[in-house]
Amino acid sequence: MAIADLELEQRARPQEGFGDWVARRGTAFWVVAALLLVMPAIASPFWLVQIIAYAMILGMIALSLMFLAGYGGIVSLIQMTVAGFAGYLVAILGGSAITQISLNWPWWTAVPVAMLVATLFGTLSGALSVRTEGIYTIMITLAIASAFYYLTLQNYTIFNGFSGFNGILPPVFLGIDWGQSLPFYYLTLACAALAYGAVIYVSRAPFGLALQGTRDNPRRMAALGFDVVAHRIAAYTFASLIAASAGVLLVWYQRQISPGTAGVGPVVDMLIIAVVGGLSRPIGPFIGALVYVLLRTFALDVLEGVGLDGRRYQLLIGLGFLVIVLFSPDGLIGIFQRLRERYRRGRDARDSQMGTGGGTP
Amino acid sequence: MSDFVARRPIWSLIILLALAILAWLVFSIWTPGMEAMFGRKRVFLSALFNGITLGALYFLVASGFTLIFGLMRNVNLAHGSLYLFGGYVGYSVGEWSGSWLVALLAAFLLVAIVGILMQLLLFRWMEGQDLRQTLVTIGLSIIFADLLLWSYGGDTFQVTAPEWLSGPVTLPFAVALRSNGEAVMMTYPLVRIAILIGAIIVGVLMWLALNRTRVGMLVRAGVDDRDMLSATGVRVQLVFVMVFAFGAGLAGLAGVVGGTFQSLQPGEDTRILLSSLVVVIVGGMGSIPGAAVGALIVGLAEQFGSVYMPTYAVMLTFLIMVAVLAVRPEGLAARR
């Protein structure tokens, strides 16, 4: 019912102009967008690539998790594995320093094939895990993810075992070396923006609305004639595509890939990033990723600065995560929204007081 | 049992046949043709026994996991951390007191207390919120892992087995024939056999406790319908705390057992957690017999996999999980 109404509403709405479109995004959106675009003028290459670009790559992987969890109600831990698999495929099909395994395909065949196969893998894992519901999904996807990790660790013929692949170079295309910090930053920014826009678009498209319906009440959706399982599997496919593209960027960023890239730690870290940022909106994972990368990079210095053991940053991440989960289930976004609500309510209260006191002019 | 035979005559026949073939493989003297196919009999037999004893260890860990999940719908992803914590406690107490049994007891009690604290301080306040509880257990596992790394470092530890359990024992199976016709008997570490027997005893006791006592009745009723149970006036929170304590204690106990015939080091917690995940998925969530069947299958698959196809050993375990999920998504022993 609700979906049909919404669709009608969308169709009935008159075509909005460009000005409306700009205004509807809000000030914060444009400020952040402008800031990200001119970032190379402000930030050093270290900040540009090691912090912001890396955070955007992790944010994209966490975004795919957020899409599944936030809109589909499926908490999948497979996303980092899909990204890692795409990265491995780029290393195997494209060029790397491990010449006896790498096939040295040109990047414009290696990358699409890698993304396609990784997406297929994500879809198949999804098809396997949607057979069970709710909390079981975490267990099954975690089991699949760890199976992939141990496979890459033990297999030397395809995945080159413990040492993995190194010397994977980003391509040179249109005369630009995309491994340079400036082009790489803009490439990552474009991909992240595309993924962000795609998630927002899909969440408002009929498919996304139906998916949110299956999250809220799968029985009712099935009764309405929607194929719940097919919607969930399609959601996995879409999320896997985002994760796979992020995986390609990740392997170009790291220039190497090893079992640890998609190990159990990073797999769980993606969930932490998405939850800390907030699972309710697509911007959440990016915020979570930025916090995570900042913590990872600077926790050692900060901890030692205040006289603690710098190696305990994992403890810090664990405690921070626990605090967020216990006190703000919708993450940093939730905290921000609550603060804003309180501020707005305070202002409204003041306004109404002034209104009753002095009367409107 | 007879019920099963009556309902599934074909499956019973297949299982019986497989057991007979296995028994024949174990007791017969292998011909050269068989050795060419399966490798040496000693290798086959040790993979078989290692698989069964590994399954015993997995059963100890996974039964606590499945009990907690079945009753409280809590996917305790910190279960591996409890295992490792128990192992370290067992190591320290064992070194201090010199007694393996004291180490076992101390690990069980201490980890059970940690379990009680977890249930009382955290999970009690978020009942019914599956995802949130799971996220909390993830946070806890990270914290535990780092605290354990902090206090014990990255070294490998091994709990020393007591005198009366050390050394090999001769089993009544011939491995090969010497040229003079004399049979070479299979020898096997006694401690592993003791662990297998211990796990069987624990399993039987648990089955009896669940099916023959009042508390077990409450637990079973809680697994079926928690709300109804509390509506009948049972102090369901008390049952929860007890089950959590027992499940956590079993993980701690298993930590000492695992530390005796394997080793303790950082990273072991996730490995054990993942094994018990697969065991519980294969066996059926919330079912003790399922945990036993799943543990046996996973243990055997890991050992035979690492003997006969080393690079794809994990894939065998994984394929078993996929096959079970495809045929029976609720696990082998789950009730429909």
Residue-wise pLDDT for B132-156, tens only, equals 888 888 889 989 988 988 888 878 8
Q: Are the Cβ atoms of B138 and A154 closer than 8 angstroms?
A: no
Q: Are the Cβ atoms of B310 and A154 closer than 8 angstroms?
A: yes
The reported pLDDT for the residue numbered A246 is 92
Chain Cα centroid distance, residue B45: 21
Question: Residue B256: phi, psi to the nearest 5?
Answer: -65, -45
Residue-wise pLDDT for B57-105, tens only, equals 999 999 888 888 877 778 888 899 999 999 999 999 988 888 888 888 9
The reported pLDDT for the residue numbered B86 is 92
To which H or E segment does residue B183 belong?
A: strand B183-189
Look up residue B324 and give its two tokens: 């079970």
Residue by residue, DSSP assigns A240-286 as: HHHHHHHHHHHHHHHSEE-GGGGSHHHHHHHHHHHHHH-SSSTHHHH
Q: Would you call B315 an interface residue with chain A, using a CB distance cutoff of 8 Å?
A: yes
Look up residue A230 and give its two tokens: 């097919």
Name which of B143, B318, B325 is nearest A322 (Cβ-Cβ): B143
The reported pLDDT for the residue numbered A359 is 42
To which H or E segment does residue B186 belong?
A: strand B183-189
Residues B111 and B86: beta-carbon distance below 8 Å: yes
Question: What angle in degrees, to the nearest 10, is found between the helix axes of B41-72 and B9-27?
Answer: 140
The reported pLDDT for the residue numbered B115 is 92
Give me the count of residues in chain A. 361
Residue scoring higher pLDDT (A95 or A150): A150
Give the lowest-confidence range in A45-54, A79-88, A305-314, B268-277: A305-314
Residues A93 and A103: beta-carbon distance below 8 Å: yes
The reported pLDDT for the residue numbered A14 is 54
Give me the count of residues in chain B. 336
Q: What is the mean pLDDT of residues B192-216?
A: 87
The reported pLDDT for the residue numbered A315 is 83
Q: In DSSP terms, which residues pair with A173 in a beta bridge? A: A176
Residue-wise pLDDT for A264-285, tens only, equals 888 888 888 888 888 888 888 8
Residue of chain A whose Cα is closest to the Cα of B141: A318
Name which of A138, A143, A326 is nearest B321 (Cβ-Cβ): A143
Residue scoring higher pLDDT (B219 or A246): A246
Give the lowest-confidence range in B85-89, B127-131, B213-217: B127-131
The yes-or-no verdict on residue B242 having pLDDT over 80 is yes
Interface TM-score (ipTM) > 0.90? no
Q: In DSSP terms, which residues pair with B169 in a beta bridge? A: B188
Residue of chain B whose Cα is closest to the Cα of A268: B138
Planar angle of CA B38, B43, B47, nearest 5 degrees: 100
The reported pLDDT for the residue numbered B179 is 67
Q: Would you call A86 an interface residue with chain B, using a CB distance cutoff of 8 Å?
A: no
The reported pLDDT for the residue numbered B47 is 84
Planar angle of CA B13, B16, B17, nearest 5 degrees: 85
State the pLDDT confidence band at B178, using cuts at 50, 70 and 90. Answer: low
Residue among A83, A123, A63 at smallest CA distance from A278:
A63
The reported pLDDT for the residue numbered A357 is 46
The reported pLDDT for the residue numbered A1 is 44
State the pLDDT confidence band at B174, using cuts at 50, 70 and 90. Answer: low
CB < 8 Å to A138, chain B: 75, 77, 134
Q: Are the Cβ atoms of A154 and B140 closer than 8 angstroms?
A: no
CB < 8 Å to A312, chain B: 146, 150
Name which of A142, A147, A325 is nearest B135 (Cβ-Cβ): A325
CB < 8 Å to B73, chain A: 135
Residue-wise pLDDT for B14-41, tens only, equals 888 888 888 877 777 666 666 666 667 7
Sign of the Cα torsion A124, A128, A130, A134 reads negative
What is the phi-psi region of residue A164: left when phi exceeds 0, alpha when psi lies from -120 to 50, beta otherwise? left
State the pLDDT confidence band at A13, using cuts at 50, 70 and 90. Answer: low
CB < 8 Å to A144, chain B: 318
Task: State the smallest CA–CA distance between residue A314 and chain B in angstroms.
Answer: 6
Give the lowest-confidence range in A74-88, B144-158, B164-178, B232-246: B164-178
Task: State the smallest CA–CA distance between residue B193 and chain A in angstroms.
Answer: 28
The reported pLDDT for the residue numbered A337 is 81
Q: Are the Cβ atoms of B145 and A314 closer than 8 angstroms?
A: yes
Residue of chain B whose Cα is closest to the Cα of A316: B143
Q: What is the mean pLDDT of residues A105-127?
A: 87
Residues A168 and A101: beta-carbon distance below 8 Å: no
How far from A341 is each of A334, A336, A337, A347, B102, CA to CA, in Å?
Answer: 10, 9, 6, 10, 57
Matching residue, tokens 């139906």: A210
Q: Are the Cβ atoms of B138 and A268 closer than 8 angstroms?
A: yes
The yes-or-no verdict on residue B172 having pLDDT over 50 is yes
Q: What is the mean pLDDT of residues B162-182?
A: 72
Residue scoring higher pLDDT (A234 or A340): A234
How far from B109 is each of B98, B120, B140, B167, B305, CA to CA, in Å?
Answer: 18, 16, 19, 29, 35
Name which of A131, A155, A271 is nearest B138 (Cβ-Cβ): A271
Residues B105 and B233: beta-carbon distance below 8 Å: no
Residues A119 and A235: beta-carbon distance below 8 Å: no
Residue among B282, B314, B313, B269 at smallest CA distance from A139:
B282
Round to whole Å and give the CA distance between A94 and A88.
Answer: 10
CB < 8 Å to B140, chain A: 318, 322
Q: Are the Cβ atoms of B130 and A271 closer than 8 angstroms?
A: no
CB < 8 Å to A150, chain B: 314
The reported pLDDT for the residue numbered B1 is 53
Question: Residue A257: phi, psi to the nearest 5?
Answer: -145, 140
Strand duo A176-177 + A256-257: pairing: unpaired
- Map out the domains of chain B with their CATH numbers: 36-327 (1.10.3470)
CA quadruple B15, B18, B23, B28: dihedral, nearest 10: 160
Name which of A271, A315, A317 is nearest B147 (Cβ-Cβ): A315
Residue-wise pLDDT for A208-250, tens only, equals 888 888 888 888 888 888 888 888 899 999 999 999 999 998 9
The reported pLDDT for the residue numbered A130 is 83
Is the pTM here over 0.80, yes or no? yes
